[in-house]
Amino acid sequence: MLLILDAQASPETIEALKDRLARMGLVPHAAGHDGAAIGLVEIMDAKTRAELAKLPGVRKLVPMPEPYRLANRAFHPQPTLVRVGSAEIGGRAVVLMAGPCAVESRAHIFEMARLVKAAGIPILRGGAYKPRTSPYAFQGLGEQGLAFLKEAGEAHDLAVVSEVMDASQIPAITEHVDLIQVGARNMQNFSLLAALGKLNKPVLLKRGLSATLQEWLMAAEYVMAGGNEQVILCERGIRTFETATRNTFDVSAVPVLREMTHLPIIVDPSHAIGVRDKVIPLARAGIAAGADGAIVEFHTCPEEALSDGPQALYPEQLTQLVRELDGIARAIGRELS
Ligand code: PEP
Ligand code: MN
């Protein structure tokens, strides 16, 4: 619900209104609309709505039909900017993140960090807790991997992003990374999302394998409802009947979400398509559609990668990716950060 404020209301009237809302058990959020407004996230009955409409300082009530409130563009018309290290995601600059699927060893992640830095990319990725389909596959180096990632990031002045799979990993992940990734398989792990809502650390929320845009925004809402509004959405492909690609990249999600939410949106062409030679064209499409950035997997030797080798770019392809995405970004009035 949006309470549109009376343009003539004095600051004292607005303060009194906020006190009154608090006494009614409602939490006022700053919101924008066609004038100043207060946003309320609570579900309320007709009696409460009628009471609100009569309060001094309130010009009118605008109901919000969508169940996502804090993530709603109507609540917050300006884009949200999320800072990760030196990069700001959601502004004019397009931000890239790159690295291996998994942190494989100290030496390897250091070499990957060097290549990321040389390509002019500000954020290094690397999974330490890996959600693998098979329990027999490489599960990641765990906390040791996080320590290697952090060290490599610091050595090359890069921010780092890694996935959390379970709330018990939150202390370790918070200590080691600048951006916490929630993987597709955990998008509706509501207790994990609520726990991340208590942190003061940005969250990269990947789209669930079969999640609608609304379900995805409701997952973001779980994090935001806890007080952490630093959420970045990541389109990483969804499950369809197609088997030629790992997933189906939903490029339409980018412009459609843009209207639904103020949160930054990035794309992950690597997991979306799963095929190395198609990653760059897909990344170009995502940026052309208006994404605020892209996260991409690459590897010094994809043939020997411990996970997701077939979709990993070669280092020279990373350089090509940066060059081409810069061209796309400039064509639409943006630039790479
Ligand atoms: C990953 O980023 O390595 C990953 C497992 O991604 P997703 O959750 O999108 O499958
Ligand atoms: Mn991967």
* Domain annotation for the chain: domains and CATH numbers: 2-62 (3.30.70), 82-336 (3.20.20.70)
Which residues of the chain are modeled with pLDDT < 70? 33-35
Please give the Cα distance from 207 to 61 (Å, whole number).
32
Query: Do the strands 231-235 and 82-84 form a parallel or antiparallel pair, or are they unpaired?
Result: unpaired
Contact 90, 80 (CB under 8 A): yes
- Nearest ligand by distance to the CA of 181: 1
Q: What is the dihedral of CA 221, 223, 225, 230, to 10 degrees?
A: -90
Going by the DSSP 8-state scheme, the letter that residue 79 receives in this structure is P
Contact 240, 233 (CB under 8 A): no
Residues 231-240, buried b or exposed e (16+ Cβ, 10 A)? bbbbbbbbee
Q: Which amino acid is at 7?
A: A
Please give the Cα distance from 267 to 250 (Å, whole number).
10
Nearest CA to ligand 1 atom 10: 184
The two structure tokens encoding residue 239: 């499950």
Q: Which atom of ligand 1 is nearest to the CA of 268?
A: 9
Please give the Cα distance from 81 to 202 (Å, whole number).
11
pLDDT in tens, 96-122: 999 999 999 999 999 999 999 999 999
Helices (H), the chain: 11-23, 46-53, 106-118, 143-155, 170-176, 190-196, 213-225, 253-260, 269-273, 276-288, 315-331
pLDDT in tens, 39-72: 999 999 999 999 999 999 999 999 999 999 999 9
Please give the Cα distance from 180 to 104 (Å, whole number).
19
- The reported pLDDT for the residue numbered 36 is 87
Q: How far is the CA of 196 from the centre of ligand 1 (A)?
A: 18
Contact 289, 255 (CB under 8 A): yes
The ligand 1 site (C-beta within 6 Å) comprises: 101, 127, 131, 183-185, 206, 236, 268, 271
Please give the Cα distance from 275 to 244 (Å, whole number).
9
- Nearest ligand by distance to the CA of 312: 2
Q: How far is the CA of 318 from the centre of ligand 1 (A)?
A: 19
